[in-house]
Structure 1
């Protein structure tokens, strides 16, 4: 049994490609990297990779993480500029014993020394969006912050290997050096091949207030189904944020266990993509209504 689940509709083409890889016997680490690279390479997806929306200075800073559920190896980069496919850099770091999470200039130095592709990740489209937002902030007194749709995936192969990965350009107009939950183990992603994996997307500043990806895996280990696990997390975490802070930022979580069963939790309208050996590839949209998660096919 193989399966792969990803956040947002932008994951569709990458998941289709990786489903073929999984069906043909490729492993979860290869399949998830190819799926995430597909999103990173598409400039139409302005919250990930090439064409990602810039920070307050007009620079594209990227975050990415990779985790291998077999040995719990983890690698991540944050605030990296001018390098293509940060997910591949994160995966390379996961093979090391030390220095597995690098940021800013340190991440860029590592990438250059190890031959990763240098590239200006700012497109004309994202530059124009930045210029418009600067103008709107001054003229319309609008909030600068918008756009934080991380691509996150969990992947299971025929051999029982499970991996998780994330990639994002983060919050549009963020402060230079700002990092959200996406590359943070436990918050943005977590995976254990003996149990399952999970990954989150949404407002990183709120998601980091709870280790919801780790919590999903912990609950699955206790015997909850993936959907039961995210139901518990969504209701409790949303309530906790509102009780303690008066508001809860947008957050969503997807997970898959070692049997290929999956679940999704969200406190907003949230499209996601799932593909399994038995179900094929489908896009759903989920909503949080009356403290329950409901979803229906989108495509």
Structure 2
């Protein structure tokens, strides 16, 4: 239950080290924005730095030339430009009734995920030491073309990663805006606590999301305290890697939807 996290942090490259500093040297759990950057730099991390690359600048320029499409805005006008945007709700939608299951499914089912294997870079990892202690970590640049200020599932304990020495660990990747609503890694670890095998625990967590959001893309890996591991995915083919002292090299496992 020791947790450190940073979100919406700019100008500092090493998010994982910054998060670890929050865990080790503060009584807080999460720092965000420019103050997270200032904290990380004050604790000795390099910065402020320009983290843009020629590739990222080229991608941004082409996105602007394409009228800032795709983007993550909804119920705004204009819908096909870079704004400025104005609040708008379609006359055909009765928002007093959107809490019904049918209306929710109609709304969510029509949303196509902006996440695929070509535009995300989440890395989630679980490590066991010789004493059986487990640590997990997640690092990401976030969703491509996200709205400034967006924080995804990366720093949310129980969403992108979770661990308990008594049970095991989980890591996740994919459409964080959807997955964070379900805390899938917390669900995986708690399912394993109740006796579920890693394969079934991972599949169950992904299925819970898919039932509500049939267009989402994501995956989880699960590993119990004895080292038994598995993965589950939806919307893409997922790969995770494993390395142990008994193995000569890293082994890559491929999981199909």
- Per the normalisation by structure 1, the TM-score is 0.66
Which residue of structure 1 aligns with residue 215 of structure 2? Answer: 248
Go from structure 1 to structure 2 and tell me whether the alpha carbon gap of 1:263 and 1:199 turns closer, same or farther (over 3 Å shift).
Answer: same
Matching of residue 214 in structure 1 with residue 183 in structure 2: no
Displacement after TM superposition at 1:207 (Å): 0.2
In structure 2, distance between residues paired with 1:157 and 1:115: 26
Displacement after TM superposition at 1:121 (Å): 1.2
Which residue of structure 2 aligns with residue 28 of structure 1? Answer: none
- Given that 2:123 and 2:140 are in contact with CA atoms closer than 8 Å, whether structure 1 keeps it comes out as yes
Which residue of structure 1 aligns with residue 159 of structure 2? Answer: 187
Between the two proteins, the alignment pairs up a number of residues equal to 209
Q: Any idea what the Cα deviations from partners look like across 1:160-211, whole Å, max 9, x if unmatched? A: 0110000001011111110111110111111111111111111111101201
- Given that 2:23 and 2:29 are in contact with CA atoms closer than 8 Å, whether structure 1 keeps it comes out as yes
- Given that 1:149 and 1:202 are in contact with CA atoms closer than 8 Å, whether structure 2 keeps it comes out as no
Which residue of structure 2 aligns with residue 107 of structure 1? Answer: 36
- Given that 2:206 and 2:233 are in contact with CA atoms closer than 8 Å, whether structure 1 keeps it comes out as yes
Could you say which structure has the larger radius of gyration? 2
Q: Any idea what the Cα deviations from partners look like across 1:249-278, whole Å, max 9, x if unmatched? A: 111111211111111111021122122234
Matching of residue 272 in structure 1 with residue 240 in structure 2: yes
- Please show how residues 81-96 of structure 1 align to structure 2 within 5 Å: 81-96=10-25
- Please show how residues 8-47 of structure 1 align to structure 2 within 5 Å: none
Displacement after TM superposition at 1:96 (Å): 4.0
In structure 1, distance between residues paired with 2:207 and 2:133: 30
In structure 2, distance between residues paired with 1:266 and 1:278: 27
- Given that 2:21 and 2:43 are in contact with CA atoms closer than 8 Å, whether structure 1 keeps it comes out as no
- Given that 1:76 and 1:102 are in contact with CA atoms closer than 8 Å, whether structure 2 keeps it comes out as yes
Q: Any idea what the Cα deviations from partners look like across 1:89-117, whole Å, max 9, x if unmatched? A: 10111124522200001101211211111
In the TM superposition, structure 1's runs of 4+ consecutive aligned residues that sit over 3 Å from their partners are 277-280
In structure 2, distance between residues paired with 1:149 and 1:207: 15
Which residue of structure 1 aligns with residue 94 of structure 2? Answer: none
- Please show how residues 148-167 of structure 1 align to structure 2 within 5 Å: 148-167=120-139
In structure 2, distance between residues paired with 1:169 and 1:86: 9
Which structure's residues are more often strand, by fraction? 1
- Please show how residues 117-196 of structure 1 align to structure 2 within 5 Å: 117-118=46-47, 119-135=49-65, 137-138=66-67, 142-144=69-71, 145-146=114-115, 147-196=119-168
Which structure's residues are more often helix, by fraction? 1
- Given that 1:154 and 1:255 are in contact with CA atoms closer than 8 Å, whether structure 2 keeps it comes out as no
Which residue of structure 2 aligns with residue 286 of structure 1? Answer: 255
RMSD of Structure 2 on Structure 1 (CA): 1.7
Q: Any idea what the Cα deviations from partners look like across 1:218-258, whole Å, max 9, x if unmatched? A: 0111112211211222223312x14xxxx331111112111
Q: Which runs of 5+ in 2 are unaligned?
A: 72-113
